[in-house]
Amino acid sequence: MTIYFHYKNPRQPPTPSPHQNFPTVSKFLGFLSPNQELMASRAAMAMLARRVPAVGSPAVRVRFVSAIPFPASGGDSSEKKAVTGPAKEVEKTVASYWGVEAPKIVKEDGTEWKWSCFRPWDTYSSDMSIDLQKHHVPVTWGDKMARWTVKSLRWPTDIFFQRRYGCRAMMLETVAAVPGMVGGLLLHCKSLRRFEHSGGWIRALLEEAENERMHLMTFMEVSQPRWYERALVMTVQGVFFNAYFLGYLVSPKFAHRVVGYLEEEAIHSYTEFLKELDKGNIENVPAPAIAIDYWRLPQNATLRDVVMVVRADEAHHRDVNHFASDIHCQGHELRELPAPVGYH
Ligand SMILES: [Fe+2]
Ligand SMILES: [Fe+2]
């Protein structure tokens, strides 16, 4: 199955505006010509039809770098192994009983969409017009606690990383991707428990987590963690996940405020990163391919362009989390106000 995707010129202004770009199927179809829409619809129908497994389903080609044996599953299966090069890339063909097959996506120029971790309809042009200077002035005791918490976390971070902004960005993104997932998880459970809608906040927070994880996938292309940095990430994640989980259970208002201030600090860090790039202290290398496709950057984009769009993302996260905290401050629940889904 092949879905043809019309990849827009990144230099053209997005239509509709990024604030209205909701990552839904309808948004995806909006990129397609009428003929391509028809093809995509037929492909979707074919996928739905294939949910009923049939004997002799089409073979699915799975490619991964591993020496781990593929688990046996129901139905007929056959394997074809091909070891190529030092990376021991193994290509297997599996006759799938389950009818699960990822559609092949082809860009406008005929080249295959090479990312399986995100699809063309997940990409966007960053809204660079967002105000980077916005700041929530702490008023309540809780706000001051949240600000103090973030400031106290910045002190050891500054000492550890000094001016190694590439490494700093990569490491901090491993933490930044946690709150959205924890918040989304807890709201998901709350929605199930109380038999009530979430107002779109589950999706909005999970989108934030995914966006932060894409920041990490990008920065790990330009900076590789050392063994002790990996150990630090595991330790910090273990502590931070549990602390944020408990904090969100006790006070979502405080938890969102903390993230709002964390995002303000992230904007500051990326501004410092840009200064170092401009001074020439950090080499302005070409942008990783994953970043060019995810943010629809021009082919000649550089690391500086990537830092600019990531910083704009952080400003959006700042606004979403301060907004969420304000909703709680005003005595409401998040579900009472529609969430800013697709807010990039
Ligand atoms: Fe980030
Ligand atoms: Fe962020």
Nearest ligand by distance to the CA of 317: 2
Q: What SS3 class is residue 112?
A: strand
Per-domain residue ranges for the chain?
2-92, 122-336
CA of 67 to the centre of ligand 1 (A): 33
CA of 198 to the centre of ligand 1 (A): 24
CA of 286 to the centre of ligand 2 (A): 23
pLDDT tops 60 at residue 50: no
d(CA 234, CA 244): 15
d(CA 2, CA 185): 33
Beta partners for residue 95, in sequence order: 59
Residue where the block lists tokens 């990024």: 18
Beta strands in the chain (DSSP E): 2-5, 59-65, 89-95, 104-107
DSSP state, residue 20: G
Distances (CA, A) of 117 to 123, 214, 268: 11, 9, 29
Share of the chain above pLDDT 70, in %: 73
CA of 15 to the centre of ligand 1 (A): 25
Nearest ligand by distance to the CA of 213: 1
The closest alpha carbon to 261, from 149, 340, 133, 167, belongs to: 149
Nearest ligand by distance to the CA of 309: 1
> The tokens of 14 are what?
């997005």
CA of 168 to the centre of ligand 1 (A): 11
Higher pLDDT, 234 or 31: 234
Beta partners for residue 76, in sequence order: none
The model carries a pTM of 0.76
- pLDDT tens figures, 273-321: 999 999 999 999 999 999 999 999 999 999 999 999 999 999 999 999 9
Tell me the residues surrounding ligand 1 (ion) with CB < 5 Å: 173, 176, 212, 215
Q: What SS3 class is residue 333?
A: coil
CA of 214 to the centre of ligand 2 (A): 11
CA of 75 to the centre of ligand 2 (A): 44
- pLDDT tens figures, 139-179: 999 999 999 999 998 888 888 887 788 888 888 999 999 99
CATH code for the part of the protein at 122-336: 1.20.1260.140
* One-letter identity of residue 294: Y
Nearest ligand by distance to the CA of 321: 2
145 burial type by CB count under 10 A (0-12 exposed, 13-18 middle, 19+ buried): middle
CA of 173 to the centre of ligand 1 (A): 5
CA of 53 to the centre of ligand 2 (A): 41
Nearest ligand by distance to the CA of 216: 1
> The tokens of 250 are what?
């006790």
Q: What is the pLDDT of residue 22?
A: 37
Nearest ligand by distance to the CA of 265: 2
Distances (CA, A) of 16 to 21, 30, 176, 183, 312: 7, 10, 28, 29, 18
CA of 317 to the centre of ligand 2 (A): 5
d(CA 193, CA 169): 37
- pLDDT tens figures, 240-256: 999 999 999 999 999 99
Q: What SS3 class is residue 59?
A: strand
CA of 311 to the centre of ligand 2 (A): 8
Residue where the block lists tokens 């800013």: 340
CA of 209 to the centre of ligand 2 (A): 8
Q: What is the pLDDT of residue 13?
A: 43
Confidence label for 5 from pLDDT (cuts 50, 70 and 90): low
CA of 74 to the centre of ligand 2 (A): 42
CA of 38 to the centre of ligand 1 (A): 37
